[in-house]
Structure 1
Amino acid sequence: MVHMGEAVAWSPSSVDEHLLLGLVGGGLLSRHPGMKRPEWIVPPSVHREPDPSAGYVVSFVRLHERGFNVPAGRFMRALCHYYGVELHNFAPNAISQAASFVAVCEGFLGIEAHWDLWVHLFRCELHTVAGGARGLRRPVLAGGLTFALREGRKDKYIPGSMTSNNADWEKGWFYLCNDGAGLPAYTGKVLTERPGRWGRGVSDPAKREQLDLLTGALHRLAEKGLTVAAVIANFHW
């Protein structure tokens, strides 16, 4: 039996203004207008863990490098609502999976991000780390939500694997303006269990015909050589 121990502590932020301006220059972060309500804030050195002001959430450099930006799109907001999570709960590869899915739907299938297709193809998993003692796991304060293709459906989507080069990504946190309150407010939520809805797929038989058409189109794209890596290389979400 797996037991859940104490959560892994936050690391002080390694972010500075130069780093965030680099994201701005690359089109991965909104410009800093220098107004009373800036688009982003470098955490003060006295903040050893996140403590954003009202109207701000906690984001990470790596999430923006993987395809996230504000204002958050409809699909991103739907992910937060359906899985019951906040922005800091997304692992970098979860953002990559979601962003590439949106790009495939819009750029190759010619449709808006299709929610039923998403839950048909992907399952949600809880990420934890070893706790030292046998059978003990520790929740993470950031990045506890990951996505993976469902078993038996990997041939229904374009091929690809997520990068494992995410070392120390959780140190790159900063405060991001929650434009229009599109994202859930930051509460420091920690994911400690996998709710049943995380594993649900599409059960309505009436929707299966359309899903078969869409997955057939994805299979043909894969046969032509389209990969997740190629999609990721060409988008900004």
Structure 2
Amino acid sequence: MAAADLGAAEWERSKITNQDLNLLKKLGISKKPKAVCFPSEESYPTPPMGYRVSFVDHLIRGLSAPIHPFLRGLLYVYGLQLHHLTPNSILHISIFITLCEAFLGVQPNWALWKRIFFCRRNGSANVAYNIGGVVISVRSSVNYFDVKLPDSVQGWRKKWLYIREENHGCAEDNIPPFDGAEKILRRRSWDAEATEEERTSTEALMTRIHELQNTRGKELSGIQITAYFLRTRVQPLQARKNPFWNYAGDEDTDRLSTNLEVKDLDRLIRKISSLKKKDSIPSTYRVTPYSAANALPKEDASEATASAQSPPPAVSPRNKRKRNDAEDSGTSKAEEAVPSRQKAAYDPYLETLISSDDEEEVPTADVAARTSTSHTLVASETPVEGEETSPPRQNVGAATPPSSPLVPSPKRARVETIPELTLQSSSSSNPLLDDPMIKELLRIGAQFVGYRDYASKTEEKLAEANERADTLAQKLEQCEEARKKAESDAVQARREADKAKADAAGVEDVRKRLHAAETSLSEHISAQSAREAAVTKRIRIQNRRFVNRTSQVTDTWEPTRGRYDAP
């Protein structure tokens, strides 16, 4: 029996406490004007224009807007939204980015991530969660830091709010639009392992991680990494001007607030971890993190610079790997670039048609998930049904975040094919397809089909929205009728209760009067008994006197004389 997907029914009214508000203020998350917007009475998130949905427990674990390119890449590759991730998963990503930048001296590395982590579905045999429905876990074969994560975070799903979106001039830093009812579809990229090439390129980083864990006297723990980014007051999951290896201390421009007090920091670390009161929290680090005061070695600095300037192999436009290789590695493949003469203003269908078959489960009545982890150019005789993807951007290699999966634009459109032509990104030797006129024909056809289907899809979505609005209006009318009926029943019940109270008061009055009568009767009986006793006593006394007198008369009688002697 398949688990029931709760979907939108899982949302309920937000319940943020004053303690949560004070914590967000201390952390500097709500310091900027209108940086955070708190929901009022709604039981389903409806973020205002320019805001995105987030959670208190995500923010205190290193999340802020605009989001880090690596995090956006993960969401794209895994086909997820932020509310699909649990707080422990958010903390895993924060620790990984801090580890890479502050202790390894490199940009967050996608290949290294795949060697350490994988995704799995969160839920039970009967229920599949939508909020927090995906968990990021460490592979059992990897010796990674003990992060001391709690078994569960209680009540975090009820503490949602809106955070203001800030893109810093780059739309790729935006959080994907919120859709609370979007189903979670498992992807091959969730547990994709690193390729041999990626394992070779990251072997030195894995060796360094083991050294950080096991070097006697210089051991580094997961709690130390967590405490470090909390002390710096820099949010690891925020798009920042400088990486951690350029952290400038109190003068750093990426800091959200001043240093936390020791007791507040101690309380926060224990809140997001499984540490007990008896467990100590490290105040110093046996391994000095890289920063402006502890600069990277020259060779490491050059490697970090090179990593920041060039896209990873998974997204490089010059990389011509086969589609199957991209799927096996769980990475994204960039669309083939068009000739330079065609470059102009951004057109979502100017360069290519995109197809995606990375999802393992696609509903027949709906399109595929919002994002895809592998892309290729497809133009075949058989149309591809039920698939949907994001339109490409020009110069995709330059717009891709360093060492992170490809991040597409939020816009989407259905894929349609052009008959009698077959074009694969891995095969460009066909002379017919190299003809400029054929390429121009493909470009114009793709542009027309893309815009037509985009408009058609928009109309369908609008019709669905209108239908949903009508349904909600009917439900609202039903709720209003139910409310009026409930109010009427409440008034009737109140009247019956008042009548019952009046009857009860009358019964109580009768009971009191009966009790008073019984008391009076008892007193009367007692008085009557006392009078009878007094009368009986007097009769006995008089009888005794009479007997005594009778005895005296009998004693003075002289029969012989026939007379009484006077006494």
Interval of TM-score (by shorter of Structure 1 and Structure 2): 0.7 to 0.9
8 A contact 1:4–1:138 mirrored in 2 = yes
SS at match of 1:234: helix
8 A contact 2:10–2:131 mirrored in 1 = no
Q: What corresponds to 1:175 in structure 2? A: 162
Instruction: Show CA shifts across 1:174-198 (max 9, x none).
Output: 0112222511010114444422211
In structure 1, what residue type is equivalent to 2:2?
H
In structure 2, what residue type is equivalent to 1:170?
R
8 A contact 1:142–1:190 mirrored in 2 = no
What are the within-5 Å matches in structure 2 for residues 1-237 of structure 1?
Answer: 3-7=2-6, 9-15=10-16, 19-20=20-21, 22-27=23-28, 29-33=29-33, 38-45=34-41, 47-128=42-123, 130=124, 136-153=125-142, 155=143, 157-180=144-167, 182-203=174-195, 205-224=196-215, 225-235=219-229, 236-237=235-236
In structure 2, what residue type is equivalent to 1:218?
I
In 2, the alpha carbon distance for the partners of 1:61 and 1:72 equals 15
Aligned-residue offset at 1:165 = 5.0
Would the alpha carbon gap of residues 19 and 159 (structure 1) be closer, same or farther in structure 2, given more than 3 Å must change?
closer
Instruction: Show CA shifts across 1:144-184 (max 9, x none).
Output: 1211111211x2x3233312351001111001122225110
Would the alpha carbon gap of residues 170 and 230 (structure 1) be closer, same or farther in structure 2, given more than 3 Å must change?
same
8 A contact 1:85–1:189 mirrored in 2 = no
Would the alpha carbon gap of residues 145 and 191 (structure 1) be closer, same or farther in structure 2, given more than 3 Å must change?
farther
8 A contact 1:59–1:176 mirrored in 2 = yes
In structure 1, what residue type is equivalent to 2:201?
Q
- Which stretches in structure 1 are left out of the alignment for 5+ residues? 131-135
Q: Which has the higher contact order (CA 8 A, sep 6+)?
A: 1
8 A contact 2:115–2:199 mirrored in 1 = no
In 1, the alpha carbon distance for the partners of 2:208 and 2:139 equals 18
In 2, the alpha carbon distance for the partners of 1:52 and 1:61 equals 15
Would the alpha carbon gap of residues 189 and 102 (structure 1) be closer, same or farther in structure 2, given more than 3 Å must change?
farther
SS at match of 1:146: strand
Compare 158-167 and 214-223 and name the one that shifted more.
Answer: 158-167
**How many residues were matched structurally?**
221
- Structure 1 consecutive aligned stretches of length 4 or more whose deviation exceeds 6 Å: none
Would the alpha carbon gap of residues 229 and 190 (structure 1) be closer, same or farther in structure 2, given more than 3 Å must change?
farther
In 2, the alpha carbon distance for the partners of 1:206 and 1:141 equals 35
In 1, the alpha carbon distance for the partners of 2:36 and 2:135 equals 25
SS at match of 2:140: coil
Aligned-residue offset at 1:93 = 0.3
SS at match of 2:146: coil
In 1, the alpha carbon distance for the partners of 2:82 and 2:117 equals 19
Sequence identity (%): 27
In structure 1, what residue type is equivalent to 2:158?
K
In structure 2, what residue type is equivalent to 1:4?
A
User: Scaled by the length of structure 2, what TM-score is found?
Assistant: 0.37
In 2, the alpha carbon distance for the partners of 1:168 and 1:17 equals 15
Instruction: Show CA shifts across 1:16-48 (max 9, x none).
Output: 677335313223x14241xxxx22211012x01
In structure 2, what residue type is equivalent to 1:232?
T
Instruction: Show CA shifts across 1:47-89 (max 9, x none).
Output: 0121212332210000111111122111111111111111111
In structure 2, what residue type is equivalent to 1:201?
E
In 1, the alpha carbon distance for the partners of 2:179 and 2:50 equals 12
Compare 4-13 and 166-175 and name the one that shifted more.
Answer: 4-13
In 2, the alpha carbon distance for the partners of 1:6 and 1:216 equals 41
8 A contact 2:5–2:130 mirrored in 1 = no
8 A contact 1:144–1:191 mirrored in 2 = no
In 2, the alpha carbon distance for the partners of 1:65 and 1:162 equals 14
Aligned-residue offset at 1:207 = 2.5
**Higher relative helix content:** 2
C-alpha RMSD over aligned residues: 2.0
In structure 2, what residue type is equivalent to 1:143?
G
In structure 2, what residue type is equivalent to 1:198?
W
Would the alpha carbon gap of residues 189 and 81 (structure 1) be closer, same or farther in structure 2, given more than 3 Å must change?
farther
In structure 2, what residue type is equivalent to 1:106?
E
SS at match of 2:43: coil
